[in-house]
Amino acid sequence: MEIPVLECRNLSISYYTRQGEVPAVVDFNLRLMPGEAHGIVGESGCGKSTVALAIMNYMGRNGAIVGGEILFEGRDMRTMSAEELRQIRGAKIAMVYQEPMASLNPSMKIAEQLAEVPMYHEGIGEAEALRRAEKMLVQVRLPDPQRIMNSYPHQISGGQQQRVVIAMALLSNPRLLLLDEPTTALDVTVEAGIVDLIKEIARTTGTSLIYISHNLGLILETCTRLTVMYSGEAVESGDIHAVFDEMRHPYTRGLFNSIPLPGADKNSRPLVAIRGQLPLPHARPAGCYFAPRCDHFAAGVCDHRPLPMRAVAEGASHAVRCARFAEIDWAAATLPHTPREKVLAGELVLSVEELTKHYTVESSGAFLVGARRTVKANEQISFAAREAETVAIVGESGCGKSTFAKVLMGLEDATSGRVQLGDLDLANLPVQSRNERTIARLQMIFQNPFDTLNPSHTVGAQISRVIRKFGVERDPEKVEARLNQLLDIIKLPREFAHRRPRQLSGGQKQRIGIARAFAGDPKVVIADEPVSALDVSVQAAVTGLLMDIQRDNRTTLLFISHDLSVVRYLADRVVVMYLGRIMEKGSTEEIFAPPYHPYTEALLAAVPIADTSVRKRRIVLSGEIPSPSNPPKGCPFNTRCLYMMAGTCDAIPPPQREFAAGHVIACHLPRETLLAMEPVISIAPA
Amino acid sequence: MAGFLAPFRQPRRIVGVMLLMWVPLTLYVMFGDGLGGARFYVLMPAIPATLLLYVLAITSWRESPVALIGATLVFFWLLVAVLVPYLPLVDPNKPMAPFAVIGAVRNDHLFVLGADFKGRDMLARTLWGCQRVLVWGVSATMVAYVVGCLLGLIAGYLSGWWDQGISFVSNVLLSFPVMVLFILILNYLGPSGFNIVIAVTFASAPAIMRIVRGITLDMKSRDYIYAAQTRGEHPLRIMVFELLPNARGPIIVDACLRLGYTTVAITTLTFLGLGLQPPDPDWGLMIKESAKVAMLFKFSYMLLAPALCVSSLVLGFNLMADGLREMSLRD
């Protein structure tokens, strides 16, 4: 019989903190055969990274394996000496982390860092090591490996850095490769390239993979088996198709219900969030850890232990940790949801006409003064938004969406163009010159929940400040009444007014951010990736809340995002941006169906979808997003476009082609070619 | 005990208790003569306030022994400062028995720490001496902080010309050796407590400004600052209410360290004759006055007593800074 590369048996890991022993992982089992790719999926705090660190036997001073064993090629890693572990780490087990920049030494050239690996582990000479390093860079499909070898990490882009890290991990020909959220810090189209590479490694090298991610779609693309973790324990594991199509744990189903799959719709099939919150490690319930949030909880069954993993059927590898999985009617309609009426858009609220924002950067060297460059952050942006409508602005980093938000909010002046809010042109009206009513009508929700609230002030003080500042209420009692009303709207207890941000979870902070934006009764709210930093189940709740408030107030929402799944779910109209220009705009249905702009097409293909019945056309863009300070001539997308026509696309800015009222594609391709495009996503009949 | 202390743990109340300790002490030392007959009673409310602060400090810093030792040293001297008028001590300025050594008994008075060359009781002088060092040292540091923080916030938040101007002036000031700067300023302004405050401000504010500027630069791109900007808050309000409270961690640690430096600086200045003027006792002054006589080993106690006092206070500030930093890193 073949020996598994890695086997975890009843593994339990604890951290010792000032509050005493905190169990981080409880009773974790995993069997990884050679060449297999195993996914571990779960939300933050579920212990998935702890498992990876335990496998590397690298838990820091206050962590320890308190039970079970980890067998690497049949040998228990706990009995190995420090020297043996050192031999194995990096040579037989390699790891790729989330932040590529943090994994590379900023003061060493790529060549030196790469050559170090085989020189240390195999004792080969430098020339041989360098030769091998370069070969590996070719293998991870980095263009121009010579140049990369002679660069420092900061001189190459994030996607290239992650490829270098993967190359470094593969250099010693490891038996096991651990990938901890390897693409989370990257843009979607870049991520697609890395995922492609990881799939290829799994197929060609025979290395076993453990892929840790919060993204079910990525796991589906890369792995053959997966384990779903919740609050420190595995709740479901098995073959990827078994788990995706016949999930047998309420938490897994909750997860799938809270991610926007192609079938979801904000009106007819809204997302269903998992209620409640992840329990803190020292406050877990006595029985099933998921019990307080579970719809199938039964007293007497679910509230005591032991609760082992049980095979779904005799002999099946699909196992769940649920006492009632056999009793639950899994065929019944997933979860009750209430369809809602479609909101009709009202009159025109915001119109942006030919908005252009250029920055002048003085690149002054030591003696050279005055070398001026222009960064074209926004170029001729035009679109309109109606009352109660959601307009999504989609784009990856450097597409100019943040600059656009700043111009709109009055933190930057526009170079030219108009931004019409009601009968007021805001393009060159800085926020200090706007009157309070105008400021209150245009508010913003920020991306990072850990940054959106001032850590020094209580939640109540921060919201009250907005209420007073915008003159909604002045009287202290009325301010408090309004504050309580807002807390009720965002479904947080009123006591939270006295809390400080550090006492709140990410999702709760983001709710407060929403309350703050809506405190002054705004007409237009700009939401800059409001849910992208949140966990999946929390995302659904926050998105739902945002839409409810929008619906009640008939607010116009400008939703900035890179995540097309979320955009498809909640936007009415979409604007796709790339390097400061609009590539395509139209209604959501028009954007998600052909004809596409080639960039939209690639973006759609890049988004991982956690649904086994969805078939996607495979489109992987080469290269990286060019720097906005030095954009390509002609069409900004020409360097990566699969339809690039030399002589046209790289010389002349693309024409605006209108396909339907309001559906505009900026592309040189002939109408017929665009119209003849096939859909990227199709749902195969089950 | 804990239940009794709980109401005082709110930041606002702590500041209140601190003021209750500090305002009487400052009034007593800086404007004592103007208080007339009320002078004797002025320090009374400060005694319970100081005790309460000490208890608050040791109960909330239990996890750091270093901070506990530091706080104990500092609060020892603070307590002495507020209690000293009510202690059974002889007049510190009254010549009684010149050169009485430690433990000598003259005129029915036990000289626990001996007497100096003019015959003044060393114990009384040492204990009284802590008042001036503490009050002027802390006041000078506080003024330096107000100026430094404001400049740092302006330079960091408004950047551009403001930053260039403020940074340039700071760099010029920082390029002077500190003592030279002190001596220049005090020679020009003349020696007095208030001028020490000005001199310390000139010497310390640039360094404080740099710290605050750095923190401000780091924080001003946070979303909550954008949020304040997008609701049209005045820049001054953003600086003071949104940025400054978040810089308090590093500022408090640095302030403790800087209190130590300032104590040393004031003592040195007094030693040089540029600081507080005789006859009132002051550690620096005591060292200066006894420096010549204390060449004889027999009379070295005249130097040792004030020198050890200065060291213990400075050590207290430094240990407190260490402990606070340790605790801030742990969470």
Cβ contacts of residue A603 below 8 Å, gap of 6+?
A: A188, A189, A394, A396, A564, A576
ipTM value for the complex: 0.80
Question: What pLDDT is stored for residue A267 in this prediction?
Answer: 77
Residue in B63, B218, B230 to test binding to A, most A beta-carbons within 10 Å: B230
State the average pLDDT over residues A426-438: 85
State the average pLDDT over residues A440-445: 89
CB spacing of A456 vs B246 below 8 angstroms: yes
Closest CA to A88 of A121, A117, A127: A121
pLDDT band at B2; cut points 50, 70, 90: low
pLDDT band at A338; cut points 50, 70, 90: low
pLDDT band at A303; cut points 50, 70, 90: confident
State the average pLDDT over residues A439-445: 89
Average pLDDT across chain A, whole number:
86
Long-range contacts of B1-7 (CB under 8 A, 24+ apart): B1/B59, B2/B59, B5/B55, B5/B56, B5/B59
Residues from chain A that touch B248, judged by Cβ atoms under 8 A, are: 456
Among the residue ranges A313-317, A666-670, B52-56, B255-259, the one predicted with the least confidence is A313-317
CA A58 to chain centre: 27
- Percent of chain A past pLDDT 70, that is, above it, reads 97
Digit-coded pLDDT (tens) for A531-561: 887 888 788 888 888 888 888 889 999 999 8
Question: DSSP of A343-408, one letter per residue?
Answer: PPP-SEEEEEEEEEEEEEEE---SS----EEEEEEEEEEEEEEETT-EEEEE--TTSSHHHHHHHH
Digit-coded pLDDT (tens) for B235-257: 999 999 999 988 888 898 899 88
Residue in A446, A454, A466, A512 to test binding to B, most B beta-carbons within 10 Å: A454
Residues from chain B that touch A436, judged by Cβ atoms under 8 A, are: 232
Q: What is the pTM of this model?
A: 0.82
Tokens of A118: 């085989």
pLDDT band at A363; cut points 50, 70, 90: low
Exposed e or buried b per residue across A375-400, where buried means at least 16 C-beta atoms within 10 angstroms of its C-beta: bbbbbbbbbbbbbbbbbbbbbbebbb
Question: What pLDDT is stored for residue A238 in this prediction?
Answer: 92
Question: What pLDDT is stored for residue B317 in this prediction?
Answer: 92
Residue B139 above 80 pLDDT?
A: yes
Question: What pLDDT is stored for residue B276 in this prediction?
Answer: 75
State the average pLDDT over residues A111-140: 89
CB spacing of A454 vs B226 below 8 angstroms: no
Average pLDDT across chain B, whole number:
86
**Closest by Cβ to B231, choosing from A447, A453, A469:** A469
Q: Which residue has the higher pLDDT, A678 or B152?
A: B152
Q: Which residue has the higher pLDDT, A127 or A188?
A: A127
Residue A364 above 60 pLDDT?
A: no
d(CA A491, CA A507) in angstroms, rounded, equals 12
Residues from chain A that touch B228, judged by Cβ atoms under 8 A, are: 454
**How many angstroms separate the CA of residue B240 from the nearest CA in chain A?**
12
Residues 248-277 of B with CB under 8 A from A: 248
Question: What pLDDT is stored for residue A462 in this prediction?
Answer: 92
**Closest by Cβ to B229, choosing from A431, A455, A513:** A431
Question: What pLDDT is stored for residue A236 in this prediction?
Answer: 92
CB spacing of A410 vs B230 below 8 angstroms: yes
Mode of pairing for the β-strands spanning A581-587 and A663-666: antiparallel
State the average pLDDT over residues A383-401: 88
Cβ contacts of residue A624 below 8 Å, gap of 6+?
A: A157, A159, A160, A190
Residue A587 has phi, psi (to 5 degrees) of: -75, 160
Residue B214 above 90 pLDDT?
A: yes
State the average pLDDT over residues A215-226: 90
Question: What pLDDT is stored for residue B145 in this prediction?
Answer: 94
Helix (H, G, I), strand (E, B) or coil at B116: coil
**How many angstroms separate the CA of residue A172 from the nearest CA in chain B?**
37
**How many angstroms separate the CA of residue A439 from the nearest CA in chain B?**
6
C-alpha distances out from residue A559 to A74, A87, A391, A625, Å: 51, 50, 6, 22
**How many angstroms separate the CA of residue A544 from the nearest CA in chain B?**
23
Residue B201 above 80 pLDDT?
A: yes
Does B12 contact chain A (CB < 8 Å)? no
**Closest by Cβ to B222, choosing from A451, A466, A516:** A451
C-alpha distances out from residue A250 to A24, A191, A216, A238, Å: 21, 30, 16, 15
Question: What pLDDT is stored for residue B125 in this prediction?
Answer: 87
Mode of pairing for the β-strands spanning A319-320 and A208-213: unpaired
Residue A562 above 70 pLDDT?
A: yes
d(CA A161, CA B9) in angstroms, rounded, equals 49
pLDDT band at B69; cut points 50, 70, 90: very high
CB spacing of A444 vs B227 below 8 angstroms: yes
Residue A366 above 70 pLDDT?
A: no
Burial degree of B94 (CB within 10 A; 0-12, 13-18, 19+): exposed
Cβ contacts of residue A179 below 8 Å, gap of 6+?
A: A95, A96, A198, A209, A210, A211, A212
Question: DSSP of A572-602, one letter per residue?
Answer: SEEEEEETTEEEEEEEHHHHTSSS--HHHHH
Residue B160 above 60 pLDDT?
A: yes
Cα B13–Cα B46–Cα B326 angle in degrees, nearest 5? 55
Digit-coded pLDDT (tens) for B4-38: 777 777 778 888 999 999 999 988 888 877 777 77
Question: What pLDDT is stored for residue A606 in this prediction?
Answer: 87
CB spacing of B224 vs A454 below 8 angstroms: yes
pLDDT band at A371; cut points 50, 70, 90: low
CB pairs under 8 A between A and B: 53
CB spacing of A454 vs B246 below 8 angstroms: yes
State the average pLDDT over residues B224-237: 90
Residue in B225, B226, B328 to test binding to A, most A beta-carbons within 10 Å: B226
Digit-coded pLDDT (tens) for A509-530: 888 999 999 888 888 999 988 8
Q: Which residue has the higher pLDDT, A655 or A281?
A: A655
State the average pLDDT over residues B210-214: 93
Q: Which residue has the higher pLDDT, A269 or A4?
A: A4
C-alpha distances out from residue A242 to A226, A239, A248, A320, Å: 10, 5, 9, 12
Tokens of B70: 């530091």
Residue A686 above 70 pLDDT?
A: no
Residue A334 above 70 pLDDT?
A: no
**How many angstroms separate the CA of residue B245 from the nearest CA in chain A?**
6
Scanning the structure block, which residue is given the tokens 């073959």? A239
Question: What pLDDT is stored for residue A284 in this prediction?
Answer: 85
Digit-coded pLDDT (tens) for A3-38: 889 999 899 998 887 778 888 898 899 999 988 899
Digit-coded pLDDT (tens) for A197-212: 888 887 888 889 999 9
